[in-house]
């Protein structure tokens, strides 16, 4: 019997698990997939929003601003790539200027520090590549960029280090209320917990309905993106938004913490797990982005991707005790990534309110470091390679990721089981050749470290096998 079982290990589930792992509780996280961070968490704009978007007085507004502060602290403590680069919302018309005024007012009421309206020229002084048509901008110095999957990983790893149990490939199929606890039916048998937390992202409505009367629907909306080569990474220095509409925060142009440029998203209603891109969607993203930053060179695109937002069509997150011992963390649309650390904190508070006893552990391990060969200076590289020659062998040439770094991630609290899992942990395959050179070598390393044949290695989710069978010659079938 667990004290708490969390369903879903995206950034919200991970943040909640980490928060609860501070206390003397038995905590488990059930994740349907073979890794953490593989839903909405891995495919979004990778922005930590300042907090001027949510309506004042909402839980969303409070958690956004609080989350933005906590994320900065967590990223620093847990070695997650993070950069407070600030953001601008651009205005192209008088009507847009009015919108900026509304956003400024909201931001001030939400307690967002440092907001300021810039003139077009001031904006262009800060971002020389902005279009001449920009009339003004809302400057938010506390907006930041982050590696979303690494934030999720860091939170989940910290939870595991502090005693939480991560159950991968465990899909919840039903919830059954027993006298004073929940029986959680999964594809791998029944689990029991006194409290259940619904952090199931785009499936949070389905999970909710297992425990409480139906009262909301997730209406997923897909956002498509371009990721551009590092050659374009310096095109802008801050996150450049356009004015938000009812569809969302609009198309942004932003640097990434990995040095690339991200452009997107659009917003189209979509099935729950449809991460496809479309020619029309990508055209829209390209054309719209050029209104903000005309010089973006899409010839430098290295990847398109799409993510699905867990929209519930409301102005606020759905965070509440929905049934005895059952907490919804649902409808976590944007700014969900930013809010996640604060959602975790708030979740603990709500569970406490529902009778969960929170008693701090004497020792909470809140520290994480990983070696990033690429970022080391010459002397440290020399020292590292002489200590462990595997750090001298470059596997991913585009991102300069060494074998040592890849081997090291097999010894972390949540080791990878897929090529993309290695990518999320080390950046191998994230570069301009998109794994063309390194994927076969990563497959070889996975096969060796997991002790399974190369044919069993998957690209990402279970079922995404890369290879079919050995060639005739190898099979001795010639």
Partner 1 sequence: MYELIVIGGGPAGLAAACEAWDAGLRRILIVERDKTLGGILNQCIHNGFGLTYFKEELTGPEYAHRFTQLLAKTGVEVRTDTMVLRITPDRRVHMTGPSCGYRIEEASSVILAMGCRERTRGAIGVPGARPAGVFTAGAAQRYVNVEGWMPGKRVVILGSGDIGLIMARRMTLEGAKVLACVEVMPYSGGLTRNIVQCLEDYKIPLYLSHTVTDVLGRDRVEKVIVSRVDENRRPIPGTEMEFACDTLLLSVGLIPENELTAAAGIRMDPRTKGAAVYENMETSLPGVFACGNVAHVHDLVDYVTRESQRAGAAAARFVLNGPAAGEEIPVENGPGVSYTVPQRVRPENVDKSLGIFFRVNRIFGRSRICVEAEGREVCGFDRERMAPGEMESVTVPKKLLAGVKGGLTVSVREVEK
Question: Mind telling me the catalytic residues?
Answer: 49
Determine which residue in the list 169, 324, 381, 410 makes contact with partner 1, applying CB under 8 A: 381
Q: What does the radius of gyration of the chain's CA atoms come to, in whole angstroms?
A: 23
The distance of closest approach from Cβ of residue 392 to partner 1 in the complex, given in angstroms and rounded to an integer, is: 4
Minimum distance between the CB of residue 223 and partner 1, rounded to whole angstroms? 14
For the stretch 458-466, contacts whose Cβ atoms lie closer than 8 Å and that sit 24 or more positions apart, written own/partner, are 458/34, 458/417, 458/418, 458/419, 459/418, 459/419, 459/420, 460/35, 460/38, 460/418, 460/419, 460/420, 460/421, 461/33, 461/34, 461/38, 461/418, 462/33, 462/34, 462/169, 464/418, 466/419, 466/439
Per-residue buried b or exposed e for 289-318, using 16+ beta carbons within 10 Å of the residue's own CB: bbebbeebeeebbbbbbbbbbbbbeeeebb
Using rule CB under 8 A, residue 455 touches partner 1 = yes
CA distances from 156 to 162, 374, 390 (A): 10, 25, 27
Tell me if 412 contacts partner 1 by CB under 8 A: no
- Nearest-angstrom CA–CA distance, 21 and 65: 23
Using rule CB under 8 A, residue 295 touches partner 1: no
Applying CB under 8 A, does 305 fall inside the site for partner 1?
yes
**Residue 397 in the binding site for partner 1 (CB under 8 A):** yes
Site string for partner 1, 34-63 (x = CB under 8 A): ------------------------------
Nearest to 239 by CA among 423, 83, 464, 18: 83
| x/- map, 209-228, partner 1, by CB under 8 A | ------------------x-
Q: Is 389 in the site for partner 1 (CB under 8 A)?
A: yes
Nearest approach, Cβ of residue 197 and partner 1 (Å): 27
Among 321, 440, 450, 456, binds partner 1 (CB under 8 A): 440
How far, CA to CA in Å, does 192 sit from each of 17, 186, 188? 16, 11, 13
Interface positions, 230-289, toward partner 1 (CB under 8 A) = 273-279, 281-282
Do 86 and 112 touch, CB atoms closer than 8 A?
no
Site for partner 1 (CB under 8 A): which residue of 320, 358, 437, 456? 437
Please, what is the minimum distance in Å from the beta carbon of residue 290 to partner 1?
Answer: 15
Out of 79, 372, 432, 456, name the contact with partner 1 by CB under 8 A: 432
Nearest-angstrom CA–CA distance, 457 and 418: 6
Task: Report the residue from 157, 203, 405, 460 that binds partner 1 according to the rule CB under 8 A.
Answer: 460
Phi, psi (rounded to 5 degrees) for 22: -75, -15
Does position 470 bind partner 1 by CB under 8 A? yes
Binding status of residue 76 toward partner 1 by CB under 8 A: no
Count of chain residues binding partner 1 (CB under 8 A): 59
> To the nearest whole angstrom, how small is the minimum distance from the Cβ of residue 278 to partner 1?
5
- Least Cβ distance, residue 474 to partner 1 (angstroms): 4
Residue 98: CB atoms within 10 A of its CB come to: 12
Do residues 47 and 262 make contact, with C-beta atoms less than 8 angstroms apart?
Answer: no
Q: Footprint of partner 1 on this chain (CB under 8 A)?
A: 227, 273-279, 281-282, 301-305, 378, 381-382, 384-386, 389-390, 392-394, 397-398, 400, 402-403, 432-437, 439-440, 443-444, 454-455, 458-461, 463-474
């Amino acid at each position: 019997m667990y004290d708490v079982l969390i369903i879903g290990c995206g950034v919200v589930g991970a943040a909640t698990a980490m928060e609860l792992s501070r206390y003397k509780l038995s905590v488990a996280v059930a994740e349907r997939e073979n890794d953490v961070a593989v839903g909405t968490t891995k495919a979004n704009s990778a922005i930590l929003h300042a907090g001027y978007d949510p309506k004042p007085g909402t839980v969303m507004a409070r958690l956004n601003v609080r989350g933005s502060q906590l994320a900065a602290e967590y990223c620093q403590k847990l070695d997650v790539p993070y950069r407070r680069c600030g953001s601008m919302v651009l205005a192209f018309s008088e009507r847009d200027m009015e919108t900026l005024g509304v956003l400024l007012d909201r931001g001030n009421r939400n307690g967002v520090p440092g907001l300021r309206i810039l003139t077009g020229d001031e904006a262009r002084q800060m971002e020389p590549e902005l279009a001449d048509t920009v009339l003004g901008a809302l400057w938010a110095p506390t907006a930041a960029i982050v590696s979303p999957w690494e934030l999720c990983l860091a939170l989940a790893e910290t939870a595991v280090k502090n005693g939480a149990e991560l159950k991968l490939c465990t899909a919840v199929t039903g919830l059954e209320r027993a006298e004073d606890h929940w029986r959680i039916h999964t594809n791998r048998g029944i689990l029991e917990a006194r409290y259940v937390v619904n952090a199931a992202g785009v499936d949070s409505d389905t999970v909710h309905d297992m425990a409480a009367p139906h009262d909301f629907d997730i209406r997923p909306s897909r956002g498509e993106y371009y990721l551009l080569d590092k050659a374009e990474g310096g095109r802008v220095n801050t996150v450049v938004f356009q004015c938000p509409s009812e569809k969302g925060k609009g198309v942004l142009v932003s640097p990434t913490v990995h040095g690339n440029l991200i452009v997107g998203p659009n917003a189209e209603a979509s099935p729950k797990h449809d991460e496809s891109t479309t020619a029309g969607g990508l055209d829209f993203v390209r054309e719209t982005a050029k209104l903000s930053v005309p010089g973006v060179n899409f010839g430098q695109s290295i990847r398109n991707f799409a993510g699905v937002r867990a929209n519930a069509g409301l102005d606020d997150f759905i965070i509440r005790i929905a049934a005895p011992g059952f907490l919804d963390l649902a409808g976590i649309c944007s700014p969900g990534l930013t809010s996640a650390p604060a959602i975790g904190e708030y979740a603990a508070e709500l569970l406490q309110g529902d009778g969960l006893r929170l008693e701090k552990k004497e020792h909470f391990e809140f520290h994480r470091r990983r070696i990033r060969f690429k970022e080391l200076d010459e002397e440290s590289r020399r020292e590292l390679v002489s200590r462990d020659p595997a750090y001298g062998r470059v596997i991913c040439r585009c991102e300069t990721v060494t074998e040592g770094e890849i081997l090291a991630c097999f010894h972390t609290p949540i080791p990878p089981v897929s090529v993309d899992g290695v990518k999320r942990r080390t950046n191998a395959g994230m570069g301009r050749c998109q794994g063309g050179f390194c994927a076969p070598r990563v497959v070889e390393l996975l096969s060796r470290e997991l002790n399974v044949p190369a044919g069993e290695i998957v690209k990402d989710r279970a079922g995404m096998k890369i290879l079919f069978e050995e060639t005739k010659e190898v099979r001795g079938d010639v």
